[in-house]
Amino acid sequence: MAPGVIVRDDGFHPDDWNGPVVDVAQDTDPDALEGFMTDAALIRIAFPVFLDGRGFSLGRRLRALGYTGRLRAAGPILADQYTMARRSGFDEVEIPATMAARQPEAQWLVRANWRAHDYRSRLRG
């Protein structure tokens, strides 16, 4: 995968990771990754198309299984999906540079307050 633009809650960043990466397809069985979870400092889950949400489920499952390392969603993810990625347990999103040009940083920053406006918080209140 060609290096892309990293999106975090504070905006766009170049990829600052220089260690090994475990690349995982969105349809991977999370139980098959249990052996990698203790050693992998970065797991990057591929999102080949923005319409395929299986990567969100996989990210959530990895967190539920106890993965505490850096979790990255990578692919043509839309700014509108950033909140879902963060709530699913992803630390960051990697998008192609062409998408970053079409969806500027300001569109992502609008969604950076992903903890707000959660339906569960409204139910508790």
**pLDDT tens string 31-59:** 887 777 778 899 999 999 767 778 999 99
The per-residue pLDDT for 26 is 87
Q: What is the pLDDT along the chain (125 residues), one digit of tens a residue?
A: 556 899 999 999 999 999 999 999 988 887 887 777 778 899 999 999 767 778 999 999 999 989 999 999 999 999 999 999 999 999 999 999 999 999 999 999 998 886 665 555 555 55
Structure tokens at 84: 């879902």
The per-residue pLDDT for 120 is 58
Are 25 and 52 in contact, with CB atoms under 8 Å apart? no
The per-residue pLDDT for 91 is 97
The per-residue pLDDT for 58 is 94
Rounded CA separation 28/17 (Å):
23
| Domain span including residue 65 | 5-124
Here the CATH number for the domain that contains residue 80 is 3.20.20.70
For residue 49, the 8-state DSSP code is S
**Distance (Å) of CA 71 to CA 41, 117, 121:** 8, 23, 24
Domain count across the chain: 1
